């Protein structure tokens, strides 16, 4: 799994975790949570209490419950002056950390000086029942409280106590003993959660015309344009070419919105009265809830909207209604897929409208097992620490594991499932340090990221690997740890899955009415902002820095390192053609006479029997594919430092990659980088100029720019036409092939006559200034 030249620390490693898949056990967990290791917990569900005695002078009590197991202690919130409180809270104690044999549940009365004991209940851990889903939840029972001497006292507590696993329904919302240092206010920020991205729509606003405008300055023709706004998105039409009171535009503006629609579409018709001064001639607001929805390319009806204008009268805003109106066609586009991530590693390609969705073709199951070797991400009480959690994103579904507090080798062992609608998609995992618990920095720091393309996975096979977590820093690439995952793709219909390969990658509206590259880039940026803002409002929030890292919000920014990586990717693709060219050159120069003779024989056979050419080509490709099957990749791809040119990057190039936009560096550094870009641009300019020169020489063959060269070429074409007309094609092909493959004894080192003629043809480079 280590690639040539790659650091072994950055390589993918196959692992053998003790997961339930394939285990011959009678445990029900192996049927449901079979991609993770079993983790056993003691669960204590504190439901409510009744008839608690008063301990204060006033005869009231402020009760709370304390659950103690050895050195671990969890507490519920307390209620003011309530003898029948309800808590409905669950506590989970990891079995592997239990060092006691008695569970103690204590009800106390909160006091200013010292809390009073109301009563307690003791449990022997050996007597606690075991419960594994899909068993029904254990029914809570009433327990009579006892004092310190074991005597029954007034008051009862409703409890449920059982031994379970992470497959239990109570696991997600439980207080965990391994997060005992996190106070009650921070518990919400460490729980595992499932999030759904908002449903995104493209809004197309076709601004057609306006009528009966009343200009600000009636002495000149108005220069009118329309400004459209949804939230913080603002777009403008061009200034109308018809300088009248009835201007026309017929221009499309595109926005991204999310359900539920919170902001209306606001349109303002504005007149440019001066270079830096615009006057609003009227405006209207359109609620998006009432806008038509379009599923295909068929046009929808347009509407006239009245424009309103406000003026100030005695310091108050007064609304003037007048006859001006605007002609619009507004609709929500349901036939597009709203891109919120790069198309190169998109996790969802379906259109917005659910009516256009095709049935799922499979299931993706992921077990997020553990991480190890994590780097300290922050300092707490003078020592380095990491509070790690993992985020996975596929389609509209995001998952977040619970935070394991103060551990460089966290064990999550959480399993999640996604429906798969297209195998040519990518699931993204990210590891982060939680900065929103006591002692945190207030920002979640990235630990690393992993992407897995589903089309590289074999169906029904479980992949268990440890993936390196790599992060770029201004000082270079750093390995911040490894994350262990178990992945399984299950195919529900092989026919539907194979049929997907014949379908367009994006919904058909992207091809019938394509959006420009600049439009898509702008809309993708707006979609990212909307998704990050909505997920940041969830509880616990998925922070903006987490969402932006998962969606690669800065992937379009300039990077010398990425440019080099892409250049060498192109060279790697072309290397196959170069290798074929070198091989053919060796054949032509008789480096291996036996091989050259065999090629001659094959060539003569194909010329005499041309119907064998295509079958021979496809049979050869088939044999290559069958031969390569033995060495097919057996492991999913991962972040490749050598491919990314991350292992030998220049410090200044790294500093440029981490620079802000616009730049924050000194003028001397900016000037140096600008000169470097000019140097690179000069080389690119030379290559582009050479390509243009060759193309212009081809066009000069028949353009008579060089009359003598064109005369020679035209006469050659006439002679070639006569010769080819009277000579059988097979003879021409045979003679041409034998001439190309002739022995070096009959070759000359000077260029051929056709090449000499071509190089002498004129190009337009001599007309450049």
- d(C-alpha 315, C-alpha 634), whole Å: 75
| Residue 11 confidence (pLDDT) | 84
455-459 contacts at long range (C-beta below 8 A, 24 or more positions apart) = 455/423, 455/424, 455/425, 456/633, 456/636, 456/637, 457/487, 457/489, 457/636, 458/489, 459/362, 459/489, 459/490, 459/491, 459/494
| Residue 317 confidence (pLDDT) | 56
- d(C-alpha 586, C-alpha 142), whole Å: 90
| Residue 534 confidence (pLDDT) | 93
Q: Please, are residues 404 and 413 in contact by the beta-carbon 8 Å criterion?
A: no
Cα→Cα distances 497→344, 394, 425, 523, Å: 20, 18, 13, 30
Instruction: With cut-offs at 50, 70 and 90, classify the pLDDT of residue 23.
Output: very low
Model confidence pLDDT, tens digit, residues 278-337 = 888 888 999 999 899 999 888 889 999 998 876 544 555 555 656 689 999 999 999 999
What proportion of the chain, given as a percentage, has pLDDT over 70? 95
Helix 707-726 vs helix 729-740: angle between axes, to the nearest 10 degrees?
120
Model confidence pLDDT, tens digit, residues 137-190 = 889 999 999 988 888 888 899 999 999 888 888 888 888 887 777 766 667 788
Q: What is the mean pLDDT of residues 360-369?
A: 94
| Mean pLDDT score across all residues of the chain | 87
Tokens of 616: 């021979």
- d(C-alpha 32, C-alpha 417), whole Å: 11
Q: Which domains are assigned to the chain? A: 40-165 (2.60.40.150), 199-333 (2.60.40.150), 354-551 (2.60.40.150), 560-767 (no CATH)
Q: How many CA atoms lie within 13 A of 47 on its CB side?
A: 13
Give yes or no for residue 276 having a pLDDT over 90: no
- d(C-alpha 401, C-alpha 412), whole Å: 7
Model confidence pLDDT, tens digit, residues 610-631 = 888 899 899 999 999 999 998 8
Write the DSSP string, 116-179.
EEEEEEEEEGGG--B--TTSPPPPPEEEEEE-TTS-EEEEEEEEEEEEEETTSTTTTTSEEGGG
Model confidence pLDDT, tens digit, residues 330-345 = 999 999 999 998 878 8
Q: Which residues pair with 278 in a beta bridge?
A: 272
Cα→Cα distances 238→91, 92, 247, 252, 595, Å: 62, 62, 11, 11, 66
| Residue 25 confidence (pLDDT) | 44
pTM of this prediction?
Answer: 0.84
List of residues 6+ apart from 569 with CB closer than 8 A:
643
Could you tell me which of 416, 423, 418 has the C-alpha nearest to residue 364?
A: 418
């Amino acid at each position: 799994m280590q690639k040539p030249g790659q650091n072994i620390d950055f390589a993918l490693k196959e692992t053998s975790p003790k997961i339930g898949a394939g285990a011959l056990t009678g445990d029900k967990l192996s049927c449901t949570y079979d991609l993770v290791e079993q983790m056993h917990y003691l669960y204590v569900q504190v439901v409510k209490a009744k008839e608690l005695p008063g301990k204060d002078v006033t005869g009231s009590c402020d009760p709370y419950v304390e659950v103690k197991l050895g050195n671990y202690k969890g507490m519920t919130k307390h209620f003011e002056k309530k003898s029948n409180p309800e808590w409905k809270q669950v506590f989970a104690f990891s079995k592997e950390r239990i060092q006691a044999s008695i569970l103690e549940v204590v009800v106390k009365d909160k006091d200013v000086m010292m809390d009073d004991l109301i009563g307690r209940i003791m449990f022997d851990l050996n007597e606690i029942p075991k419960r594994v889903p899909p068993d029904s939840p254990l029914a809570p029972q009433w327990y009579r409280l006892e004092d310190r001497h074991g005597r029954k006292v007034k008051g009862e507590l409703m409890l449920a106590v059982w031994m379970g696993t992470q497959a239990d329904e109570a696991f997600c919302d439980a207080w965990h003993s391994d997060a005992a240092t996190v106070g009650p206010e921070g518990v919400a920020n460490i729980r595992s959660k499932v999030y759904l991205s908002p449903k995104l729509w493209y809004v197309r606003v076709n601004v057609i015309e306006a009528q009966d405008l009343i200009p600000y300055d009636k002495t000149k023709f108005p220069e009118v344009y329309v400004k459209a706004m949804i939230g913080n998105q603002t777009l403008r039409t061009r200034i109308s070419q018809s300088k009248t009171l009835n201007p026309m535009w017929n221009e499309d503006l595109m926005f991204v919105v999310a359900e539920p629609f919170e902001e209306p579409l606001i349109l303002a018709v504005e007149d440019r009265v001066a270079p830096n001064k615009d006057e609003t001639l009227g405006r209207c607001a359109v609620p998006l809830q009432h806008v038509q929805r379009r599923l295909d390319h068929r046009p929808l009806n347009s509407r006239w909207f009245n424009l309103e204008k406000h003026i100030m009268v005695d310091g108050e805003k007064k609304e003037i209604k007048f006859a001006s109106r605007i002609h619009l066609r507004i609709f929500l586009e349901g036939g597009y897929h709203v891109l919120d991530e790069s198309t190169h590693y998109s996790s969802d390609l379906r259109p917005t409208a659910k009516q256009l969705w095709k049935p799922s073709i499979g299931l993706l199951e992921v077990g997020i097992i553990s991480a190890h070797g994590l780097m300290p991400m922050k300092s707490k009480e003078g020592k380095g620490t990491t509070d790690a959690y993992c985020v996975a994103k596929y389609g509209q579904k995001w998952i977040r594991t619970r935070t394991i507090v103060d551990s460089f080798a966290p064990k999550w062992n959480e399993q999640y499932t996604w429906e798969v609608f297209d195998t040519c998609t990518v699931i993204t995992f990210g590891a982060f340090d939680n900065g929103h618990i006591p002692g945190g920095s207030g920002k979640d720091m990235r630990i690393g990221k992993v992407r897995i393309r589903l089309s590289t996975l074999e169906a029904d096979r479980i992949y268990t690997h440890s993936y390196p977590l790599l992060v770029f820093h201004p000082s270079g690439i750093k390995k911040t740890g490894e994350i262990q995952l178990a992945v399984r793709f299950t195919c529900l219909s092989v026919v539907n899955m194979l049929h997907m390969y014949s379908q367009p990658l994006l919904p058909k509206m992207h091809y019938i009415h394509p959006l420009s590259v600049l439009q898509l880039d702008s809309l993708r940026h707006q979609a990212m902002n909307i998704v990050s803002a909505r997920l940041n409002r969830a509880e616990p929030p998925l922070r903006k820095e987490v969402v932006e890292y998962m969606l690669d919000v800065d992937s379009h920014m300039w990077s010398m390192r990425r440019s080099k990586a892409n250049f060498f990717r192109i060279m790697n693709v072309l290397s196959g053609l170069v290798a074929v060219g070198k091989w053919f050159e060796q054949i032509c120069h008789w480096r291996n006479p036996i091989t050259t003779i065999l090629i001659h024989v094959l060539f003569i056979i194909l010329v005499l029997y041309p119907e064998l050419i295509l079958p021979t080509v496809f049979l050869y490709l088939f044999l290559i594919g069958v031969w390569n099957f033995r060495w097919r990749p057996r492991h999913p791809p991962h972040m490749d430092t050598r491919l990314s040119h991350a292992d030998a990057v220049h410090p200044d190039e790294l500093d440029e990659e981490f620079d802000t936009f616009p730049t924050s560096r000194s003028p001397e550094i900016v000037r140096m980088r600008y000169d470097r870009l000019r140097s690179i641009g000069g080389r690119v300019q030379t290559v582009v100029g050479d390509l243009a020169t060759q193309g212009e020489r081809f066009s000069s063959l028949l353009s008579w720019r060089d009359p003598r060269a064109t005369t020679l070429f035209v006469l050659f074409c006439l002679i070639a036409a006569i010769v080819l007309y009277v000579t059988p094609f097979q003879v021409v092909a045979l003679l041409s092939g034998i001439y190309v493959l002739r022995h070096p004894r009959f070759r000359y080192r000077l260029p051929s006559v056709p090449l000499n003629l071509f190089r002498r043809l004129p190009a337009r480079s001599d007309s450049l200034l």
